[in-house]
Amino acid sequence: MVNNWKTPIKNWKLVEVIDSIEIMEQTSDEFISSVLKKNDLPPKYNEIMNRSESFADWSLLNGYYKFFYDYEGKEEIIKRQFSKSAFAKSQHLFITYLQDDLVIQVPTRLFIEDWEGFARSMIHNGIIVNEELNLVAEVTRDYYLHSNFEIMPESLVHD
């Protein structure tokens, strides 16, 4: 992919994969707001800064999925689940980088291969969506991944 972004990229993960991603010209906040609106995900207005801060008020949805992703030794299980999830049907995913005010487009296979590196490089805060913008996953700083589709079956979350 061609990187025509004018500002130098400093994020370690983005520098590592710069030849495989496309940096979009849209601010991350505007992108997140539009994705939430498109999917009828109620925005959450965070009055208190804390580690579980989220963009969507997932608790208002009739059924959503979440799992704690920072279990030591679960990295390969989560990777396998991402490869079986609805995300895997998309060629590319969009990922927000709030600290750099960026939205990137990354090949899905690259994201799945190093999902943990992408989550860390997002500073555990932001959203990941498919090309159609209808599958939404949010990484929060309390190491939970929230989504409007199943990634990690409940039977695997507590094994």
Look at residue 98 and tell me if it is in a domain. yes
| 52-82: pLDDT as tens digits | 689 999 988 888 999 999 988 899 999 999 9
19 pLDDT higher than 60: yes
Whole-prediction pTM value? 0.90
Look at residue 144 and tell me if it is in a domain. yes
Look at residue 6 and tell me if it is in a domain. no
* 137 Cβ neighbours under 8 A, 6+ residues apart: 87, 127, 128, 129, 145, 146, 147, 149, 151
Look at residue 81 and tell me if it is in a domain. yes
Mean pLDDT of 5-34: 89
What's the domain count of the chain?
A: 1
Structural domain for 75, as ranges: 13-42+52-157
Look at residue 1 and tell me if it is in a domain. no
